[in-house]
Amino acid sequence: MSFPRSGASPRRRARASAVALALGMALLGAACVPGTDGSGAGSGGAGDATAVPDPSKEGKVTLTVWDQEVRGGQNAEIEKLNKEFQDKYPNVRIKRVARSFTDLKTTLKLALSGNNPPDVVQANQGYADMVAFAKAGMLTPLDNYAGIYGWNSRYPNTLLDLNRVSVDGMNFGTGRLYGLSQTGEYIGLYYNKDVLEKAGVEPPRTWAEFTAALPKLKQEGELPVQFGNLDKYPAIHTFGVLQDQAADGPGQIRNTVLGKGDGFDNEPTRQAARTLADWAENGYLPKGANGTGYDDAAKKFAGGDGAFLLTGTWQLADLKKQMGGKLGFMPPPPGKAGEPLRTTGGQGLAWSVTSKSRHPDVAAAYLEHITNAHAAEVMMDEGVLPAVPGKAAGRAPEGSPDRQMVEGWEQLNEDDGMVPYLDYTTPTIFDTLTADLQGLLEGSLSPDKLVSKMQEEYETFREKQSGEKADR
């Protein structure tokens, strides 16, 4: 995926445009419904909006917002932006309900199906959540607002497309726009400088140097990779990165996630499964990682227990606050020095307007407020990566983890190295794969069995989709 940034060279901008076009074509190939730019979106629930909404004229409004931005930096920037919105529109009160990702994912469907759902929610992309909610008529199409506020030009199509659902509710990546992401994110490699120095290990320049460092760290008495998988989803991120590194290029896995690939019965998936199982067996991961919470593992890493932590950019603000100058960060290093980068990631959960909201115009104005250029500055100041950094990218100090995060984001985009999250692939793969990865880590499921179950999941869903389309 590619994201324009002020100050980028003409070559970089030209390359970025080519990358955006390439992924856009990939997304088009994933479905049969035209209009990934919104041209084929048709009319939706926001069809009456023709001008920039003015919340000050809406009377007294309570805007109920459900989000999962509970970590330090994310919570701080949302709290600041919410206060600014209420100061600008004193007639609007934001009733914020902040939940963890797991809690939000568990409770959102029930909330949306009730008689008094929130006005704004964060919905995960892919079939399990956004597609299901859009198909059930629970979310408001935002295409008109995208035109009114200029979201179509502010955001690359590659980002907007991941928040689109086809009119027939069969595919994501095309059709109507059902959300807007505030943050960019990718799975990167955090490292503790003190732990590496103590073990005589340099920050890796290549993936081979990274994997070679793991046994040396273990030999020196250090935990190579801190990891907690009680919440299940962390393993899907780690597994995705291992899969990305084993593949010939990012397109192999990306095509399958987008529904145009051959699935998971391939060598990169097998190699990723074997590697993760080996890491657990060789003690490169903490013993009993399935019983350690994700946040607890991050705290242990911040406290010096672990040389590396392989997780998302959303952890940067909290880790930086706890570790200061000890913290280092980079995207997963390339296979060989100078080769293109690749990793799992893309953008944060989409912010969506619910179809039963009595204040869709105020909700749309809120989405604009938390995603515009000023919001990007607020996010950068709090150590959060904006989906479209723009000029705000320059606010990160040279040499800081924040600057490493932004520069990594830019390089990944320039390299076309981003692979969407595996849980986008089918409606149920988040539950099945996360459970199976726990089995792989504890040794109750073999790498080959994991691969066969992933392939079966993929084929079953694609066959069901083909059958439903044929019946229409």
pLDDT at 367: 98
Kindly report, residue by residue over 157-209, the tens digit of the pLDDT.
888 989 999 998 888 888 999 999 999 999 999 999 999 999 999 999 999 99
φ and ψ at 181, to 5 degrees? -90, 135
Q: Alpha carbon 186 to chain centroid distance?
A: 6
Picking from 354, 391, 458, 403, the residue whose alpha carbon sits closest to that of residue 114 is 354
Nearest-5° angle of CA 397, CA 85, CA 164? 80
pLDDT at 468: 74
> Which residues make Cβ contacts (< 8 Å) with residue 415, sequence separation at least 6?
340, 341, 342
pLDDT at 210: 98
Six-digit token pair at 259? Answer: 């529904």
Six-digit token pair at 399? Answer: 């040499």
Contact present, 108 and 118 (Cβ < 8 Å): no
pLDDT at 9: 34
Kindly report, residue by residue over 89-121, the tens digit of the pLDDT.
999 999 999 999 889 989 999 999 998 999 999
- For residue 38, which amino acid is it? G
What is the spatial distance between Cα 264 and Cα 454, in angstroms, rounded to a whole number?
6
Structural domains in the chain, sorted by start: 55-183+348-388 (3.40.190.10), 186-346+410-466 (3.40.190.10)
Contact present, 120 and 89 (Cβ < 8 Å): no
Q: How many angstroms separate the first and last alpha carbons of the chain?
A: 33
pLDDT at 472: 67
Picking from 169, 164, 163, 165, the residue whose alpha carbon sits closest to that of residue 181 is 163
Burial of 328 (0-12, 13-18, 19+ CB in 10 A): middle
- Quick check: helix, strand or coil at residue 335? coil
CA distances 241 to 386, 407, 422, Å, are 22, 19, 10
pLDDT at 4: 32
Picking from 264, 267, 247, the residue whose alpha carbon sits closest to that of residue 256 is 264
pLDDT at 8: 34
Report helix angle 267-281 to 429-442, nearest 10. 50
Kindly report, residue by residue over 382-413, the tens digit of the pLDDT.
999 999 998 998 999 998 999 999 999 989 98
pLDDT at 469: 67
The parts of the chain modelled with pLDDT lower than 70 are 1-48, 469-470, 472
